Amino acid sequence: MRGEPPCSSTATELKPVVNRLKRAQGQLAAVTRMLEGGSDCKDVVTQLSAVSKALDKAGFAIIASGLEQCLASEDNSMDKKDLEKLFLSLA
């Protein structure tokens, strides 16, 4: 998006999100190995679904953090439409 600030949450605030993304990265690597190894379709899709949900949760956590910052900030550099677009991009 144009003109909005980068994620400005502290590393401590985003640590759970980073951890979730690292787990999702490992899960995605496992899905790739499963496909290459000829695993059962149901098992692959189940793991892929878990990866997708982990990514969605990470995205929503980042948006929630941005919303908290926006509400706490006096300059409101990110308007309601920008936050709505971010939210809907994950929906």
pLDDT tens column, 47-84: 999 999 999 999 888 888 877 776 676 666 666 777 77
Say if residue 79 is exposed, middle or buried (CB neighbours under 10 Å; 0-12, 13-18, 19+): exposed
Using the predicted structure, report yes or no on whether residue 17 has a pLDDT greater than 50.
yes
Q: Return the CATH architecture of domain 13-90.
A: Up-down Bundle (1.20)
Using the predicted structure, report yes or no on whether residue 11 has a pLDDT greater than 60.
yes
Q: Report whether 77 contacts 4 (CB < 8 A).
A: yes
For the chain, how many residues are written? Answer: 91
pTM above 0.75, yes or no: no
For the chain, give the mean pLDDT.
82
| Domain segments of the chain as ranges | 13-90
CA distance 80 to 68: 12
pLDDT at 37: 96
pLDDT at 3: 46
pLDDT at 62: 85
